[in-house]
Amino acid sequence: MSAAHGKVILLGEHAVVHGRPALAAAVSPGVEAVARDAPGEGLSLHVAPWGAVFTAGDGTDLGRGLAGLARDLDATGARLDAVMHLPGAKGLGASAALGVACARALSELRGVALDDARLLDIALAWERVFHGNPSGVDHTLAALGGVGVFTKAEGLRRVATRAPVVLCIGDTGERSSTREMVALVASALARRPAATEKTFDAIAALVRNAALALEAGDARALGELMDLNQVLLSSLMLSTERTETLCRAARAAGALGAKLTGAGGGGCVIALAGQREGEVRAAWEALGVPCARVEVGA
């Protein structure tokens, strides 16, 4: 059984697509996959709990991704079975985790050695099928795990944490298209380049300070920086009324900070719960919001 992590972006969404840093952390469990020989067949993927089957070249995004894996790993005549522990289209890196887990499973089946660099190349090609112009955060955390600052130019720089960071993840119930949200921000950049670049620079400053707060174990400062990041993401039209409702409810329940995570336009909200995890969960559950607890960091 091969596995890959999901992810949360603590700060830095979208700015990271345009060369700025993002602070992100892997979450587990993510996706598990196993590959078996299927002589005389192409490459197929059976996904639980979706109860769906995809084949290489079937015209779907997953079919196109599988075609890439079949080419890169000489993986025809194989069947993949994957178990998803992450919701799709919610900003938690589900597609990247699926691609990494499947690539690892196929490489083991075929006896192909995959170092990190080769795995990341294959996973990036997979992500481009789904997201067009991905930042690189998702597939890097899916493959490598941990917590760190990511940039397109330099990849992942690990950030040491003094203690685990407890997050509540709430699902807005609104599906989000990363491709559409990335295109929305690109359109804003084209229309208002100076203002949008300043917003990216402001987000980058928050990320740098958040990494320092994380290293110092200063949860209150980290939460305040998350809140400021949410304001800037909202200014890029990436938030929704439901997202803002969840953020307000979490803060009112004692969360140190709350913001969207991932592409925006729906998806999930993360709250830095601190000692108020129970209160945050109760506040979200009162709104009918599915909620999970994750620990990231040391």
**Residue 135 neighbours by CB under 8 Å, 6+ apart:** 16, 17, 22, 150, 152
Show contacts of 58-64: CB within 8 Å, 24+ apart.
61/129, 61/130, 64/129
Of 72, 138, 171, 227, catalytic: 138
**Residue written as token pair 């709350």:** 258
DSSP string, 5-63: EEEEEEE-TTGGGGT--EEEEEEEEEEEEEEEE-TT--EEEEEETTTEEEETTSSSHHH
Query: What is the rounded end-to-end Cα distance, in angstroms, of the chain?
Result: 25
Instruction: Give the pairing type, strands 43-48 and 52-55.
Output: antiparallel
Q: How many Å apart are CA 242 and CA 244, to the nearest integer? A: 5
Label each residue of 163-189 as H, E or C.
CCEEEEEEECCCCCCHHHHHHHHHHHH
Report the largest interatomic distance among the alpha carbons of the chain, rounded to a whole angstrom: 59
Three-state SS for 87? coil
Residue 292's beta-bridge partner residues? 169
Q: How many helices (H) and strands (E) does the chain have?
A: 9, 11
Tell me if residue 218 is catalytic. no
**Residue 109 neighbours by CB under 8 Å, 6+ apart:** 35, 36, 37, 75, 78
Tell me: cis bond preceding 134? Omega within 30 of 0 counts. Answer: no
Q: Which residues are catalytic?
A: 138
